[in-house]
Amino acid sequence: MTHGSAPQADTPHELLATVRDLTRQVRVAQRGTWFPLLVFATVALVAIPVYRYGPYLDLFHTCRSGDDQMVCSGENPTELGYWTVALVLAYAAIAAFYVKRSRRRGVGTPIRPYVIVGIALAVLMAAVSIWLTFHPLLPVPADPFATDVVEIKAGLAAQLIYGLASPMAVIGLALLVLAWVERHWALLAYSVVYLVIVAIMGAQVIHSASRWFFLPHLLVPAALLLLGAAVFALVRPTPEGQA
Amino acid sequence: MADHPANGLDDVVHQRVRLGIMTIAHQARQVEFGFLRTALQLTAGNLGQHLTVLEKAELITIEKGYEGKRPRTWVTLTAAGRAALRDEIAHLKQLIQQVEYAETAEPREGSVDRT
């Protein structure tokens, strides 16, 4: 042990403590948790005008015309297209943010698994949504023009599959990967809470004639994401302070 | 008799600063000279010497380039470096276990003597 100029009196305990401290310091420097949350909150808020004013493009021929009305089953392809494109662009922006930040700070970032899983989930979401349009797992009313409120009961498997088709759930699932990549327990806890709230929201059927009926499904997750972005941005420790 | 864990320690890696460099490079995949200098609180000259030792041992690779007009030096851990770091940490843990085992065994032997 004669290579270094530093003293060699470090015990194994001290050396391992140094390894742990430096690992923690690097992880803190690598984290940029607030940015993905802010991006997805923005994507959710931008979805509001798309849901309200986006035309129903009957790409999959699921619409049936009645006397003076038209009923369409399955997700609006406009909304599906919006989410698929928006999620892929969001992950590209997140990857660019992390890469630029790592160059500025001088410390690399293992963000690739998060971006790959996120994009894969976005594509899977689109595929599952299209599949569900042709193979609905929930009972379809015999008379699509009936105005009576029908109670829909879905099994756990159906709920899981519909969850994979939900953009909000897909965002939450990818956040679990980010929590693993960043070794971030607070983000893991946040992601689990977020997913539970999104799952509960997804199980609620809103009976309303309003054209804004979808608002809670977008506003609640957007508010959660904004809140998370603000908290993670405000309470992040400085890397130097962790040494 | 099993080989003592201290015999498995690599002189190049078993040094606080170099172990620190390798830990940071492992966690970061790629780390810049300035980040290492700040994190390890070293002078540029001192850090450069340690990096040279690690590079000669083929435990890291050093890549020089520019970020705009600023010169940048990036350090990456090699596969051999990752293995050496893993071995060093395993040996350190074994050493601690042996010391702790010896400390807990001594009083027990004493109590046997008294009876």
Give per-residue pLDDT as tens, A25-84. 999 999 999 999 999 999 999 999 998 888 877 777 777 777 677 676 677 888 999 999
pLDDT level of residue A243 (50, 70, 90 thresholds): very low
pLDDT score of A1: 39
Question: Is residue A10 in some structural domain?
Answer: no
Q: Residue A106 and residue B72: Cβ atoms within 8 Å?
A: yes
Question: Is residue A21 in some structural domain?
Answer: no
A2 touches chain B (CB under 8 A): yes
Domain that holds residue A199: 33-237
Give pLDDT tens digits along chain B (115 positions): 456 666 667 778 888 999 999 999 999 989 999 999 999 999 999 999 999 999 999 999 999 988 788 889 999 999 999 999 999 999 888 888 887 777 777 655 545 444 3
The number of folded domains in chain A is 1
pLDDT at A208 over 90: no
pLDDT score of A164: 74
Q: Residue B16 and residue A18: Cβ atoms within 8 Å?
A: yes
pTM of the predicted structure, to 2 decimals: 0.80
Question: Is residue A18 in some structural domain?
Answer: no
User: What tens digit of pLDDT does each residue of A95-130 get?
Assistant: 999 999 998 889 998 899 999 999 999 999 999 888
Question: Is residue B64 in some structural domain?
Answer: yes
A181 touches chain B (CB under 8 A): no
pLDDT at A5 over 50: no
| Residue B37, domain CATH | 1.10.10.10
Question: Is residue A20 in some structural domain?
Answer: no
In order of A47, A105, A210, B72, B112, the CA distances from A166 in angstroms are 13, 36, 22, 44, 67
CA separation for the pair B115, B112 (Å, rounded): 5
Question: Is residue A92 in some structural domain?
Answer: yes
Q: Residue A106 and residue B12: Cβ atoms within 8 Å?
A: no
User: What tens digit of pLDDT does each residue of A182-200 get?
Assistant: 989 999 999 999 999 988 8
Question: Is residue B1 in some structural domain?
Answer: no
Residues of A in Cβ contact (< 8 Å) with B92: 12, 15-16
pLDDT score of A61: 73
pLDDT score of A124: 93
pLDDT score of B4: 64
Question: Is residue B2 in some structural domain?
Answer: no
Question: Is residue B44 in some structural domain?
Answer: yes
Question: Is residue A26 in some structural domain?
Answer: no
Cβ(A44)–Cβ(A168) below 8 Å? yes
Q: Distance between alpha carbon B101 and the CA centroid of its chain, in Å?
A: 24
- What percent of chain A shows pLDDT beyond 70? 81
The number of folded domains in chain B is 1
Question: Is residue B54 in some structural domain?
Answer: yes
Cβ(B12)–Cβ(A3) below 8 Å? yes
Question: Is residue B3 in some structural domain?
Answer: no
Cβ neighbour number for residue A88 with a 10 Å cutoff = 16
Q: Residue B31 and residue A6: Cβ atoms within 8 Å?
A: no
Look at strands A63-65 and A70-72 and give their pairing: antiparallel
Compute the 3-state secondary structure of chain B and give helix, strand, coil in percent, each to the nearest 5. 65, 15, 20
Q: Which residues are CB-neighbours of A89 under 8 A, at least 6 positions away?
A: none
Residues of B in Cβ contact (< 8 Å) with A241: none
DSSP string, A147-206: -S-------HHHHHHHHHT-HHHHHHHHHHHHHHHTT-HHHHHHHHHHHHHHHHHHHPPP
Is the complex ipTM more than 0.85? Answer: no
pLDDT level of residue A141 (50, 70, 90 thresholds): low
pLDDT score of A155: 72
